[in-house]
């Protein structure tokens, strides 16, 4: 991992985003048992590097769509923490009016165009946004976040093929965390398949990377975004990563048998935040005192956001059908 001087401030910004995502997710996990958040939550503790890198690199006018594990992507893109937590609490002040919950986050003010509980559901939306960019000649980029499970959906192949044929400025980012709910890759995909190589054969330049190496993640995403702005062609990045907590919910689930404690601990020893922090300290890009301040500032922001969510009103009954598609 290289931390050239010109990248020092960018890497510190990225580190702060990673810490913000982790502290927020762990706070949700710790408070979930209070019964104030009643929607399902899919937490991304352990997977912060990719979301933070994308958020650091993209412009505000670039588009992002996500999936069910979307908190980190939303915060990385500049989404409002208070509105996100209000949404998870089902409050009217939430980013989706309290009607969407954890899996349905939208914030057009930062061009976060939505996340969904339907596996693969936002992939064609992100491609459509890419088409709008090409038609408008706006030099934006549309980023589509997806998991390894989404690559098993028909809409994934249709969307990737369309982006390749139409030469659209779309960056597909696959966070491969090895599992679809409780099913490992070994029971879902052929032995030896590499998702990035498969996509490359469809006609999109693709790369694989270590999702726990924040510097590598940043470099690969930076190059891909710069290339898309230059030639308008789609790119695909697959990052190996690992979620610490259960598929859906605030707990750890290593005891139920679909993965081992040994596997979990091996990934946790490669905590992307700890690895990045150690490198920044070694390169003197950050100090322990700065780290303490960053953590304190983020914790204060998170506490204030939870207070906001708790004190906000629930949506009025009369608003139940507002914002719905009507034929």
Res 322 pLDDT > 90: no
- 214-266 pLDDT, tens digit per residue, is 999 999 999 999 999 999 999 999 999 999 999 999 999 999 999 999 999 99
Average pLDDT over residues 23-35: 97
Of residues 72, 49, 73, the one with CA closest to residue 62: 73
Task: Read off the DSSP letter of residue 139.
Answer: -
- Residue 327, pLDDT score: 59
227-to-220, 224, 231 alpha-carbon distances in Å: 11, 5, 6
Over the stretch 233-245, which tens digit does the pLDDT of each residue have?
Answer: 999 999 999 999 9
Q: What is the pTM of this model?
A: 0.95
- Name the architecture of domain 5-309: 3-Layer(aba) Sandwich (3.40)
Burial class from Cβ neighbours inside 10 Å (0-12, 13-18, 19+) for residue 323 reads exposed
Task: Report how far apart the first and last C-alpha atoms of the chain are (Å, whole number).
Answer: 53
Nearest CA to 123 among 148, 96, 95, 158? 158
């Amino acid at each position: 991992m290289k931390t050239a001087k010109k990248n020092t401030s960018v890497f510190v910004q990225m580190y702060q985003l990673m810490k913000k995502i982790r502290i927020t997710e762990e706070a949700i996990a710790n408070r979930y048992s209070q019964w104030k958040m009643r929607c399902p939550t899919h937490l991304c503790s352990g997977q912060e590097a990719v979301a933070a890198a994308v958020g650091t690199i993209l412009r505000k006018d670039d588009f992002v769509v996500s999936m069910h594990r979307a908190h980190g992507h939303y915060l990385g893109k500049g989404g409002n923490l208070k509105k996100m937590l209000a949404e998870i609490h089902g409050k009217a002040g939430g980013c989706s009016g309290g009607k969407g919950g954890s899996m349905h986050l939208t914030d057009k003010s930062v061009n976060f165009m939505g996340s969904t509980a339907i596996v693969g559901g936002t992939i064609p939306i992100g491609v459509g946004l890419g088409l709008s960019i090409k038609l408008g000649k706006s030099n934006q980029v549309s980023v589509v976040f997806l998991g390894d499970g989404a690559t098993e959906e028909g809409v994934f192949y249709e969307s990737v093929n369309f982006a390749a044929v139409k030469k659209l400025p779309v960056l597909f980012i696959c966070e491969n965390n090895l599992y679809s709910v409780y099913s490992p890759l070994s029971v879902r995909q052929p032995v030896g398949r590499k998702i990035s190589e498969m996509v490359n054969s469809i006609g999109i330049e693709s790369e694989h990377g270590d999702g726990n190496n924040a510097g590598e993640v940043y470099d690969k995403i930076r190059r891909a975004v710069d290339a898309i702005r230059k030639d308008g062609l789609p790119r695909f990045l697959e990052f190996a990563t690992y979620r610490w907590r259960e598929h859906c919910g605030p707990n750890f689930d290593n005891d139920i048998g679909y993965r081992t404690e040994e596997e979990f601990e091996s990934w946790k020893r490669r905590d992307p935040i700890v690895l990045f922090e150690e490198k920044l300290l070694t390169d003197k890009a950050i100090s322990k005192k700065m780290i303490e301040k960053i953590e304190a500032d983020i914790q204060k922001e998170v506490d204030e956001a939870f207070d906001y969510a708790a004190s906000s009103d629930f949506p009025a009954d009369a608003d139940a059908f507002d914002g719905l598609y009507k034929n």
